[in-house]
Chains A and B, each alone.
Chain A
Amino acid sequence: MTQDAQEAVGDYRYGFHDPESATIRFDKGLSEQVVRDISELKNEPEWMTDIRVKAYKHFVEREMPTWGNCDSLEGINFDNVTYFLRSSDKTEKNWDDVPEDIKRTFDRLGIPEAEQKWLGGVTAQYESEAVYHSIREDLEEQGVIFLDMDSGLKEYPELVKKYFGTVVPHSDNKFSALNTAVWSGGSFIYVPKGIHVEMPVQAYFRINAKNMGQFERTLIIADEGSSLHYVEGCTAPTYSTDSLHSAVVELIAMEGAKIRYSTVQNWSANVYNLVTKRGVAHKNATVEWVDGNIGSKLTMKYPSVLLKGEGAHAEIISVAYAGTGQHQDAGAKVHHLAPNTTSNILSKSISKGGGRSSYRGMLQVTPKANGCRSKVVCDALMLDEDSRSDTYPTMEIGNSTADLEHEASVSKISGDQLFYLMSRGHSEEEAMGLIVNGFFEPFTRELPMEYAVELNRLLELEMEGSIG
């Protein structure tokens, strides 16, 4: 970012961090004892401790994943990661009780704005645990449960026990095993039958401690005929040492329910962002992932939907921006397991300054899934000759009645576009910012307004950063 750009937006968002004020911090590295200590400290029921320990053992034995840019994972030093950090001793429900330095950070992130009317509630994950959590009264009146995951486990152990790990089992991959062993924070949401949550429900996450791993765990259950839009945004301060973010998100949409999960992530350029996101859609249910990835050193993220019930629908819209030294290895997976299920995948990526973006997709139609439809569109925009874009679509089609479309395009910014915009007073950087924002627009228009504005601003800053 240029000095001017920095001044223009103030020093918010990217490079600041409060002094670490952790009250409890574990040594670096992981062992069964660390896992047991985390569980004990949280006063968890024994079954959760058992799950954690089992997952830890699986993590140790499990090979690195083979799906994705797996060579780059060699750079992770698991012994140099702190697996648990708690910045304040108890979860706050009242803003007044939140410690001052944490508040200051949130001020700069614009959290107080999140109190505006259109928000359904706020869970802000500071370091490893939610410190602030409020639910608007109308949500409570509707019987909607919206808690941080730790509180969810305490207050609704039966619900958590019933669904935890049913969509993403610990044995799914090495990083889901790691998350299951050491998870902390994240959100737990239950929407009762027939309830429609009109306003987006929102949470912020960020990494604020050197080498601090974030292992949040989110579980969302939308009961029959209900609907929910959950929004999650990430910004991370810049640090020089590698940092690991490995979350697990499980969504369960019961018959006729609809869940939309929107994310904009802007990790600093040293973060490994390895996230397992998966949703199950039962009969006539819809799961939608709206997923934006900017920043990080390596992102490997393939939001998935299991279309388990007849007539279920999946919608996955994702964008990725890869700048210098970054690899966005992102995509989508849809499994058509039942008849008459449908899916749409739209993936847009931008590579700049030698960055690399890849679309890695999986589309599966099982033999008994008659009459399925799927459309996949991948568009890549390359901003210079040094950058790279690849597409790795995998299809396993076991049913000949499937109606499948796949389109892919790679484009560059044209000289005509630049000249046209510059003739209207826009500098080259501003012109590129406009073009890039336009390219992402099919994604951006799906976001709540303030996220859309922030994303556009971020991209404009990225364009200002390295031209000339």
Chain B
Amino acid sequence: MGEMMGDALLRVENLHVSVEGTPILNGLNLTINRGEIHAIMGRNGSGKSTLANVVMGHPAYEITQGTIHYKGSNIEEMEVFQRAREGMFLSFQYPASIPGVQVGTFLRKSVASVRGEAPPPREFRKELKNAMEQLSMDRSFLSRYVNQGFSGGEKKRLEILQLLLLQPDLAILDETDSGLDIDALRIVADGINSIAQDTGCLVITHYQRLLDLVKPDVVHVLLDGKIAQSGGPELALKLEDEGYDWVDALA
């Protein structure tokens, strides 16, 4: 899949999405270029997670109208794993646990799948060690089963560890800040910032506190499945101070 010069990394146009017949997104437009951080804010049920899932290709979400272009191509027919191999990454709000599969095995296999070849063992060990140190993760993580019995904070750290290892072109972070204490939030934010230069980031959050640490270029407010308002970082601050009621008035 060739990325055309001048084309956006992600271009969502007039996107309508239903889940089991219920419309969730109603004409959403969004363009993200490499190196940009976009924040999406909005109340529960406004469609934030739906946007994350449909871009990643979750089969339960049906596109009824509109298009998603990634690296210049319409990806409606592209399978989830192909999107991942093309450099798309979703940090899950609630990552699934995989009993019996050790984190170390899972990471090695995932890196091999996304890169298209198994990394040389010694280099991979080094890469892994560095990334885990950056996130203040103990080595004992590697022998635990994926997300099984993990605390909320541990799950989020494992998501960010994957972000660092997989080095995606487009990173979608779905409420990665929820359930984190301030120290963990800072570590996670540093992780995001460390990859953000060459990556397009879509950060879904409820809270300003992550955006203090990960500076967005654009902030969007989602309302009833559409972007009601876009602006700079000051928009997030306004939401923090005034809530969402004033956005309702715009609709």
Contacts and interface: CB of A to CB of B under 8 A. Distances in A.
Contact of B84 (A416, A425, A437): A425
A109 interface: no
A54 to B, nearest CB: 47
B139 to A, nearest CB: 19
A442 B100 contact: yes
A45 interface: no
Nearest to B58: A419
Contacts of A437: 100-101
Contact of B113 (A414, A424, A435): A424
A420 B110 CA distance: 11
B89 A430 contact: no
A416 B146 CA distance: 13
A441 B96 contact: no
A422 B98 contact: no
A12 interface: no
Nearest to B107: A424
Nearest to A445: B100
Contacts of A424: 81, 84, 106, 110, 113-114, 162, 166
Interface in B172-220: none
Given A424-B114, A424-B166, A434 B96 contact: no
Given A420-B95, A420-B96, A438-B145, A425 B101 contact: no
B132 interface: no
Contacts of A183: none
B99 A425 contact: no
B95 A434 contact: no
A427 interface: yes
Which of B58, B81, B106 counts the most A-chain CB atoms under 10 A from its CB?
B81
Nearest to A348: B100
Interface in A431-446: 431, 434-435, 437-442
A425 B106 CA distance: 11
B85 interface: yes
A421 B79 CA distance: 12
Contacts of A426: 81, 109-110, 113
A438 B110 contact: no
Nearest to A443: B100
> What is the predominant secondary structure among interface residues of chain B facing chain A?
mixed
Given A423-B90, A425-B113, A417 B79 contact: no
B93 to A, nearest CB: 11
B92 interface: yes
B10 interface: no
Interface in B102-157: 106, 109-110, 113-114, 145-146
A425 to B, nearest CB: 3
Contact of B80 (A423, A434, A439): A423
Interface in A406-464: 414-417, 419-428, 430-431, 434-435, 437-442
A417 B81 contact: no
B96 A414 contact: yes
A404 to B, nearest CB: 25
Interface residues of B, number: 30
Nearest to B146: A438
Which of A424, A427, A437 counts the most B-chain CB atoms under 10 A from its CB?
A424
Which of A438, A440, A442 counts the most B-chain CB atoms under 10 A from its CB?
A438
A302 B109 CA distance: 35
A416 B100 contact: no
A40 B171 CA distance: 75
A427 to B, nearest CB: 5
Contacts of A414: 96
Interface in B75-89: 79-81, 83-85, 89
B80 A419 contact: yes
Q: Which size class do A's interface residues fall under?
A: 20 to 34
A423 B162 CA distance: 11
Nearest to B110: A424
Contacts of B97: 417
Interface in A134-188: none
Given A423-B84, A423-B90, A424-B84, A441 B100 contact: yes
A28 to B, nearest CB: 45
B100 A425 contact: no
A428 B81 CA distance: 8
Which of B80, B90, B106, B162 counts the most A-chain CB atoms under 10 A from its CB?
B80
A434 B104 CA distance: 13
B25 interface: no
Nearest to B98: A438
Which of B90, B94, B99 counts the most A-chain CB atoms under 10 A from its CB?
B99
B221 interface: no
Nearest to A417: B96
Given A420-B92, A424-B110, A425-B113, A435 B81 contact: no
A380 B100 CA distance: 14
Which of A422, A427, A431, A437 counts the most B-chain CB atoms under 10 A from its CB?
A422
B60 interface: yes
A353 B97 CA distance: 25
A203 to B, nearest CB: 28
Contact of A434 (B79, B85, B92, B101): B101
A438 B84 contact: no
B60 A430 contact: no
Given A420-B95, A421-B96, A425-B166, 14 more contacts: A415-B59, A416-B96, A419-B58, A419-B80, A422-B81, A422-B84, A423-B80, A425-B84, A426-B110, A426-B113, A430-B113, A437-B100, A440-B100, A441-B101
Interface of A: 414-417, 419-428, 430-431, 434-435, 437-442
A-B interface, 8 closest residue pairs, ranked by CB to CB distance from nearest: A438-B100, A425-B113, A441-B100, A438-B101, A425-B114, A422-B80, A424-B110, A425-B84
Interface of B: 56, 58-60, 79-81, 83-85, 89-90, 92, 94-101, 106, 109-110, 113-114, 145-146, 162, 166
15 contacts: A417-B96, A420-B92, A420-B98, A421-B96, A421-B98, A422-B84, A425-B84, A425-B114, A425-B166, A426-B110, A428-B81, A430-B109, A430-B113, A434-B98, A439-B99
